[in-house]
């Protein structure tokens, strides 16, 4: 009703002005009968009110629909009446809705084709890369060591592309399983052994025995690889240790990756999980894509895990990345 009155306000004002003008014309022309003038005004108002009532009743559902803010467009279109204005609006909305649906379907199809292409391309590139790594493993001279370092970077880059592509279809690729944190951390350290050796950084495993969580093992492996690789890269050449802690708290299991590297400036801490954000360290080391921690945070959110970061620069600098597995995701091997 309020929307109808606001919509008809200009018409109401126009009709009132018109009645006053017509009455004034007759009054100035010598017809000064107050009774007749009042009757004419009252009759005009009654006719106008009857017109507004008819218009409101014939468009009542239309105005009620606009006021209720229906969420479903199809439902809204079906409720529109056969009056000329609502019917025309319904036809326009239907055309726009079909066009919108067509664009969404086309966009989803293109996105799916793009993801399929990226997955296939990454797997195709990994085959010749594996052949190169096999050939290089037969000779351990300095030149081949340098080439192995580059092939490691290529493989990590391909893995990053693959995981970014899979992030779009995370729910289809998600599989919960029981994972022993200590075993998984050992596997990740072993996979990155050449990175540790080249960087003169050493792992220090401090994960409790029989510490098990329910999570997606493949994604957790990727997350640990990212955190450990970051810790090593920003501690390279220091001869320091990368400490990997795992322990139980009152209502969760905590996994920590602690380094003694350059630390993260306070101005960057709030943005390190943003996509493509590299920060001061990324620009200084020229190794960061700004996507690793973004994927880590996104995946942990989807798995209902949490991540915290503590860091400081200067003397005693270093960074602690802390993954928190809630109580519901914690199991014991004994159980």
Let me know if residue 44 belongs to a domain: yes
Q: Which residue, 224, 258, 233, is CA-closest to 152?
A: 233
334: confidence class by pLDDT, cuts 50, 70, 90:
very low
Residues 63 and 126 in one domain: no
Provide the residue range defining the domain that includes 150.
112-167
Q: Do residues 15 and 150 both lie within one domain?
A: no
Pair 159, 205 in one domain: no
Task: Please check whether residues 248 and 199 belong to one and the same domain.
Answer: yes
Mean pLDDT of the chain: 81
Cα–Cα distance list, 45 to 4, 18, 35, 60, 222 (Å): 18, 11, 15, 21, 77
How confident is the model at residue 126, as a pLDDT? 77
Mean pLDDT of 172-193: 91
Query: Which of 20-29, 30-39, 235-244 tops mean pLDDT?
Result: 235-244
For 153, the token pair is: 């970077």
Is residue 129 located within the same domain as residue 154?
yes
Beta bridge partners, 211, equal 332
Domain total of the chain? 3
> In this structure, are 162 and 193 located in the same domain?
no
pLDDT > 70 in the chain, percent: 84
Q: Does residue 312 or residue 78 have the better pLDDT? A: 312
Say yes or no: 217 and 271 in one domain.
yes
CA distance 188 to 218: 11
pLDDT value of position 164: 84
pLDDT of residue 246 exceeding 80: yes
Identify whether residues 156 and 177 lie together within a single domain: no
Label residue 207 by pLDDT band (50, 70, 90).
very high
Closest CA to 213 of 184, 240, 245: 184
For 89-105, letters b (16+ CB in 10 Å) and e give bbeeeeeeeeeeeeeee
Q: Is the pLDDT score of 251 beyond 50? A: yes
What does the pLDDT look like over 145-179, one tens digit per residue? 778 778 888 888 888 888 888 887 888 878 899 99
User: pTM for this one?
Assistant: 0.65
- Examine the domain organization and report whether 156 and 178 are in the same domain: no
Q: How far apart are CA 276 and CA 271, in angstroms?
A: 10
Helices 217-233 and 142-167: crossing angle in degrees, nearest 10, is: 130
Do 162 and 184 fall into the same domain?
A: no
């Amino acid at each position: 009703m309020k929307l109808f009155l606001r919509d008809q306000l200009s018409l109401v004002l126009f009709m009132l002005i018109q009645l006053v003008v017509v009455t004034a014309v007759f009054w100035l022309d010598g017809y000064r009968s107050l009774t007749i003038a009042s009757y004419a005004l009252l009759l005009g108002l009654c006719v106008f009110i009857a017109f507004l009532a008819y218009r409101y009743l014939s468009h009542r559902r239309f105005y009620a629909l606009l006021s209720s803010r229906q969420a479903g467009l199809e439902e809204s279109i079906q409720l529109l009446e056969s009056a000329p204005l609502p019917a025309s609006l319904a036809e326009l909305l239907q055309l726009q809705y079909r066009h919108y649906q067509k664009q969404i379907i086309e966009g989803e199809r293109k996105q799916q084709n793009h993801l399929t292409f990226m997955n296939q391309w990454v797997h195709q590139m990994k085959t010749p890369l594996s052949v190169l790594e096999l050939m290089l493993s037969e000779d351990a001279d300095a030149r081949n060591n340098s080439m192995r370092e580059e092939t490691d970077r290529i493989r990590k880059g391909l893995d990053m592309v693959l995981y970014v592509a899979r992030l779009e279809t995370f729910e289809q690729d998600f599989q919960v399983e029981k994972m022993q944190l200590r075993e998984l951390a050992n596997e990740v350290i072993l996979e990155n052994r050449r990175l540790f050796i080249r960087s003169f950084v050493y792992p220090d495993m401090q994960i409790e025995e029989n510490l098990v969580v329910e999570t997606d093992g493949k994604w957790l492996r990727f997350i640990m690889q990212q955190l450990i690789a970051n810790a090593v890269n920003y501690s390279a050449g220091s001869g320091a240790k990368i400490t990997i802690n795992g322990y139980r708290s009152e209502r969760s299991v905590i996994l920590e990756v602690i380094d003694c590297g350059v630390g993260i400036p306070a101005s960057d801490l709030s943005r390190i999980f943003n996509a493509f954000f590299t920060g001061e360290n990324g620009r200084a080391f020229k190794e960061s894509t700004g996507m690793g921690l973004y994927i880590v945070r996104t995946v942990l959110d989807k798995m209902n895990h949490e991540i915290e970061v503590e860091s400081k620069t200067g003397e005693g600098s270093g960074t602690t990345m802390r993954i928190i597995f809630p109580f519901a995701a914690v199991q014991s091997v004994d159980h």
